[in-house]
Amino acid sequence: MTGRLTATDARMYWLSRRLPSDQFLLYAFDGALDDPDDAAAALVRRAHVVDGLSVRLRETRWTADYPYWVPTEVTRDRVGVHAGGTWQECLDRVAESFGDQVDPRREPWRVHLYPRVDGVPGTTGSATVLVLQIAHSLGDGGRVSALARALLTDEPPPAVRTVVLPAPLAVARGAVEFPARVIGMVRRAREAVVADRRRTADTAAGVVPAPPLPRAPTVLSRPAGGITRIRCVVCPASDLRTDTVSVTVAALVVVSDAMSRHLASLGEPVPDDLGAEVMIAIPRESRTIAAANAFHNAGVDLHPSVQNLRARARAIDDSLRDRRRRLEHPAFGVGDRATETVPAVIVRRDVDRADLSMAPTTVAGHTVVSSVNRGVADLTLSGRPVVLSAGFPALSPAVGITHGVHGIGDVVTLSIVTSDDVMDADAYSDCLREAVDRVREALR
């Protein structure tokens, strides 16, 4: 894990200084903790030996080079123990912590531990909730879920690499590489132009699907304001999965149904091009760069005008499949490689100068949906078994509500992040819960 950040990951870090992007991975365990301090100390000891958690970010002076991950001591204050309460009170406290983002230069992650929470779905008594707050520059949803699994398992972790380039040498390395990077940037840019022309020709010939058309914003396409709210709807994975429909597709049908009904309840038009910006992971065998954030955003059609939800699932599946097929075109890999040749100072300048306050005239999606399968339910905390997991995609100036779809074992949690100035979170979560019931019945 220690080493120089890619341009993609460095851009994620620099952008996080302007737009909050920390990821919050929630895990609930059946049973309250008898000794929270002992559990916290055990988490710290474990983090010391997990590559990717025992690091901090070191910037290179004058941005002569990209930042580096370097080893660091993991101290007990990384784990905060909080008061208990009800399940919703716990979620409210998690939402409050969105306002206190981590600084990767000191601590790229921290843990919030709630040792006694009542009313957690899937439990009969008090439960323990653990939330891993982690910088997006450390990785995308799949990678940070793997880091969380490494933190919460007893399996031997891989050895931690400790070779670090001293700070003065990082400056020198960046200075020496600068001319070659500029030359490479020009060459790669030319290659990207050629690849883009080929993609355009392949699109016209029907070899690859066309890109989605820009969408007009809705009343939900605005910055958060007021109190940030998160809500969760927990259900068996079998409610959202069949032999022909994946959990992700079924969840997109749920989102389509809930958003359509919510907009209609406000007296707002439901756009025919209602869509979601979906994070699509780049398959390992297709990756052309070594970025920890290996995904692309894709605007997926939610087809609200298709009344039959089973048919809507097929239409959404087709749209998602088209987006994935388009992202498989070599032009995207060529573009990614071109990005990696850009000198650090140019990437940082572009991030610093970007106008993030301008209201968009079009959007890629009317919400963001992040779907991650966090694996089998074999994680434990002080002997307590995991019962559910959730995640909360960050809001942005053009997206006033985001959706998380996170599964562990046979349980899926649909979550929303929004704010009081955008919508009534309770009313919308009711829509979401009812939509789950409708989709379950339609898929049977």
Q: How does DSSP assign 194-213, residue by residue? A: HHHHHHHHHHHTTSSPPPPP
Phi and psi (nearest 5°) for 12? -60, -40
CA atoms within 13 A on the CB side of 54: 19
Instruction: Give whole-number Cα distances, 179 to 5, 82, 183, in Å.
Output: 19, 51, 6
Which residues fall within 8 angstroms of residue 376, CB to CB, at 6 or more apart? 408, 409
pLDDT at residue 37 greater than cutoff 70: yes
Copy the structure tokens of residue 239: 């409610």
Given a contact cutoff of 8 angstroms between Cβ atoms, the answer to whether 164 and 71 are in contact is: yes
Q: If 0-12 CB within 10 Å is exposed, 13-18 middle and 19+ buried, where does residue 59 land? A: buried
pLDDT at residue 156 greater than cutoff 80: no
Q: What is the β-pairing status of strands 109-118 and 402-408?
A: unpaired
Average pLDDT over residues 36-63: 94
pLDDT at residue 89 greater than cutoff 80: yes
pLDDT at residue 417 greater than cutoff 80: yes
pLDDT of residue 323: 96
Q: Is the pTM of this model over 0.75?
A: yes
Query: Helix axis angle, 330-340 relative to 167-204, nearest 10°?
Result: 160
Q: If 0-12 CB within 10 Å is exposed, 13-18 middle and 19+ buried, where does residue 255 land? A: buried
**pLDDT per position as a tens digit, 167-187:** 888 899 898 998 999 999 999
| 298/393 Cα distance (integer angstroms) | 15
**pLDDT per position as a tens digit, 223-263:** 999 999 999 999 999 999 999 999 999 999 999 999 999 99
Q: If 0-12 CB within 10 Å is exposed, 13-18 middle and 19+ buried, where does residue 201 land? A: exposed
What CATH fold (topology level) applies to the domain 186-369+412-443? Answer: Chloramphenicol Acetyltransferase (3.30.559)
Sorting pLDDT into bands at 50, 70 and 90, what band is 285?
confident
Residues of the chain with CATH 3.30.559.10: 3-172
| 438/41 Cα distance (integer angstroms) | 45
DSSP track, 60-124: PGGGSS--EEEE----GGGEEE---EEHHHHHHHHHHGGGS---TTT-SEEEEEEEEEE--TT-S
pLDDT of residue 166: 83
Spelled out in words, what is the top-level CATH class assigned to the domain 3-172? alpha beta
**pLDDT per position as a tens digit, 309-362:** 999 999 999 999 999 999 999 999 999 999 999 999 999 999 999 998 878 899
pLDDT of residue 1: 52
